[in-house]
Amino acid sequence: MKVIKVKNQLEGGKIAFNILSEKIAAGAKTFGLATGSTPVEFYNQIINSDLDFTDKTSINLDEYVGLDGSDEQSYRYFMNQHLFNEKPFKANFLPNGKAADLEAEVKAYDAIIDEHPIDFQILGIGHNGHIGFNEPGTSFDVTTHVVDLTESTISANARYFASEAHVPKQAISMGIASILKSKTLVLMAWGEGKAEAINGMVNGEVTESLPASVLQQHDDVIVIVDEAAGKYLK
Ligand SMILES: N[C@@H]1[C@@H](O)[C@H](O)[C@@H](COP(=O)(O)O)O[C@@H]1O
Domain count across the chain? 1
Q: Whose CA is nearest to atom 10 of ligand 1?
A: 36
Is pLDDT at 55 greater than 90 in this prediction?
A: yes
How many other C-beta atoms lie within 10 A of the C-beta of residue 118? 23
Give pTM, 2 decimals.
0.97
What is the tens place of the pLDDT at every residue in 181-197? Answer: 999 999 999 999 999 99
Calculate mean pLDDT across residues 36-65.
98
pLDDT at 234: 79
Calculate mean pLDDT across residues 204-216.
98
Is residue 232 situated within a structural domain?
no
Assembly ipTM: 0.96
For residue 57, the cross-strand partners are 30, 91
Q: Which residues line ligand 1 (CB under 6 A)?
A: 34-38, 61-62, 124-126, 132-133, 153, 157
pLDDT at 104: 98
What is the tens place of the pLDDT at every residue in 61-88? Answer: 999 999 999 999 999 999 999 999 999 9
* CATH code of the domain in which 174 resides: 3.40.50.1360
Task: Please state the φ and ψ torsions of residue 91, each to the nearest 5 degrees.
Answer: -155, 145
What is the tens place of the pLDDT at every residue in 212-226? Answer: 999 999 999 999 999
What is the tens place of the pLDDT at every residue in 83-116? Answer: 999 999 999 999 999 999 999 999 999 999 999 9
205 is catalytic: no
Is residue 231 situated within a structural domain?
no
Domain that holds residue 44: 2-226
- Closest to 142 in 3D by CA, of 173, 121, 120: 173
CA of 130 to the centre of ligand 1 (A): 8
pLDDT at 136: 96
Q: Whose CA is nearest to atom 6 of ligand 1?
A: 124
Atom of ligand 1 lying closest to residue 39 CA = 11
Is residue 19 situated within a structural domain?
yes
Atom of ligand 1 lying closest to residue 133 CA = 1
135 is catalytic: yes
Is residue 77 situated within a structural domain?
yes
Is residue 138 situated within a structural domain?
yes
Q: Whose CA is nearest to atom 4 of ligand 1?
A: 132
Q: 219 Cβ partners below 8 Å, 6+ apart? A: none
Helix (H) or strand (E) holding 43: helix 40-47
Is residue 100 situated within a structural domain?
yes
